[in-house]
Amino acid sequence: MEKKSIDDLLDYIENDEKKNKKDDNKEDKKEENEKEDQKVENENGEEKKKKKKKHHHKKKHNNEEKKNEIDGIRPNPYRDLFNWKEKGIEINNSRFQDNSELRLIGNWEEKPWTQTNYPTKDIDELFPNKDWPVGIIEEYSNQIWRSNDKEKMELEKLREYDILSFRKGAECHRQIRKYAQRIFRPGKKLLDLCIELENMLKFITNYHGIDCGQSFPTGCSLNHVAAHYTPNAGDDTVLQYDDVCKLDFGTHINGFVIDTAFTVAFNPTYDNLLKATKEATNTGIKLAGIDARLGEIGAGIQEVIESYEVEIKGKTYKLKPIKNLCGHTVGQYKVHAGKSVPIVKRDDNTKMEENEMYAIETFASTGKGYVREEGECSHYMLDEYASVEKIRGEKLKALYKYLYGKYNTLAWARRWLDDTDFKNISLSLRQLIDQGIVQPYPPLADVEGSYVSQFEHTFMLKPTHKEIFTVGDDY
């Protein structure tokens, strides 16, 4: 090997050091680049995690919304209709309500409850565990064995969904009518009172399309008018001290109809008139049962009503049941589901059957005891058996589609369309009526100058016992 000089060796070492330094710089730079890349990667990773977390939260939120919808819990858009603080109304937790101004309507007693006075909670907030109040339970007097029969108990379980819907709807009705009994007073326009009641109904039921809400228009028929009157837009009728007003409205949950009514009167002159229908309705419910004959129930109701008389302005009137009005079965999305319960004696041997739902309503009158159509129509309903193929014209088709989607086979009021795109529908409505697509239900009235009262409850003939859903402290 060639021997190198000291100078050559020094040059070699110097060059080698420079090379190593250069390599070190490269390594440092590489390390810095790697750190920078790692930093960017970490930041991207965190961003991805955030996005993933946000997506997961959104997905979870959507799932919760879907779950809430399934469970019947959803935001209530009608809460703002009742801002009590702005009206200067004090809210408390007392259940008591003095109904002494109303004849034969009991006070609401002080008991444990979760609602406020005035109402600030809807039905799902009041009963988050879905433990809707059970109605009044009555055994079948002639079939006591049913209450402990295991087979009947199992059959009853098959209707649990329906029963819970009826109980929920009945509690909604109690909450709403308690409020109605506070606001229905002489000097107020019936139109305003009905709108306020219907707004409360939307709030309490958390009205949601066809799933739940009002099952037919608010009836507030006055004096000789027995049924099917609610104010149309522009009606300025004012409730008077001497009026006899039948307040008849319905709720529904999942289409299962609750139909119950009472009479609003302020003048004690009419006490016997109200007592007659209150007792007659309770008698009809007592006589009702599996295998009970409808004609015999009508006879029992008639006997009660005709046992009463009332003196008005020095003249005594023997009360009569209105023979062409009656109680009826109720069903899913059907206020009248087929069978009729007469309120006079009839040769009708039709039997009540297991699992049927009934609304027993009775009417007592100082008039002839017979009603006929009178006045401007406000109640309508689609005929479920009509041939819709005959509908011609886009406007008519659009109206029918709206009515079917909104109300299905439930009744509706003409004024409910005032805030929609179907305001001026008189001609279109007339055409649908002429074609048999829509059925009108005009007010039904006895002779002018007479007075009619009404009371009504809804109950079910369950396999083991009878459950009266709609009874409250009031009636």
- The mean-pLDDT minimum among 49-53, 207-211, 417-421 falls in 49-53
- Of the listed 156, 456, 457, 465, which one is catalytic? 456
β-sheet bridge partners, residue 331: 334
pLDDT attached to residue 387 = 86
- Report the range out of 65-69, 320-324, 402-406 with the highest average pLDDT: 320-324
Q: Kindly report, as residue ranges, where domains of CATH 1.10.10.10 are found in the chain.
A: 381-441
- The mean-pLDDT minimum among 49-53, 114-118, 207-211, 391-395 falls in 49-53
Helix (H/G/I), strand (E/B), else coil: 56: helix
Pick from 83, 7, 431, 415: nearest CA to 218: 415
Helix (H) or strand (E) holding 58: helix 6-71
- Of the listed 259, 279, 356, 467, which one is catalytic? 259
The pTM score is 0.83
β-sheet bridge partners, residue 35: none
In this prediction, residue 56 has a pLDDT band, given cuts at 50, 70 and 90, of: very low
Q: Over 50: is that where the pLDDT of 62 sits?
A: no
Could you give the CA distance from residue 109 to residue 112 in angstroms, rounded to a whole number?
10
Amino acid residing at 312: I
Pick from 305, 372, 373: nearest CA to 343: 305
The arithmetic mean of pLDDT across residues 187-191, rounded, is 98
Q: Over 90: is that where the pLDDT of 47 sits?
A: no
Q: Is 248 a catalytic residue?
A: yes
Q: Is 389 a catalytic residue?
A: no
Q: Over 70: is that where the pLDDT of 129 sits?
A: yes
- Of the listed 173, 328, 457, 465, which one is catalytic? 328
**Number of other residues whose CB lies within 10 A of the CB of residue 409:** 15
Residue range 381-441 forms a domain whose CATH class is mainly alpha
- Of the listed 124, 156, 248, 467, which one is catalytic? 248
* pLDDT, tens only, 378-388: 999 999 888 88
Q: Kindly report, as residue ranges, where domains of CATH 3.90.230.10 are found in the chain.
A: 79-376+450-468
- Of the listed 122, 156, 279, 361, which one is catalytic? 361
Q: Is 173 a catalytic residue?
A: no
| Residue 229: cis peptide before it, omega within 30 degrees of 0 | no
- Of the listed 173, 228, 252, 336, which one is catalytic? 336
pLDDT attached to residue 130 = 94
Percentage of the chain modeled with pLDDT above 90 = 77
Alpha helices in 158-220 (DSSP H): 160-183, 190-205
Locate 389 and state its tokens.
């193929």
In this prediction, residue 281 has a pLDDT band, given cuts at 50, 70 and 90, of: very high
Average pLDDT, the chain: 89
Could you give the CA distance from residue 235 to residue 223 in angstroms, rounded to a whole number?
17
Q: Is 328 a catalytic residue?
A: yes
The arithmetic mean of pLDDT across residues 356-372, rounded, is 98
Locate 215 and state its tokens.
């099952």
Q: Over 80: is that where the pLDDT of 24 sits?
A: no
Q: Decide which of 74 and 470 is more confident.
A: 470
Q: Is 228 a catalytic residue?
A: no
pLDDT attached to residue 426 = 86
Q: Is 361 a catalytic residue?
A: yes
Query: Cα dihedral angle (224, 301, 260, 332), rounded to 10 degrees?
Result: -120
Residue range 79-376+450-468 forms a domain whose CATH class is alpha beta
- Contacts of range 140-145, beta carbons closer than 8 Å, 24 or more positions apart: 140/289, 140/290, 140/465, 140/466, 141/289, 142/289, 143/289, 143/290, 143/291
C-alpha to C-alpha distances, 61 to 55, 68, 246, 460, nearest whole angstrom: 10, 10, 46, 39
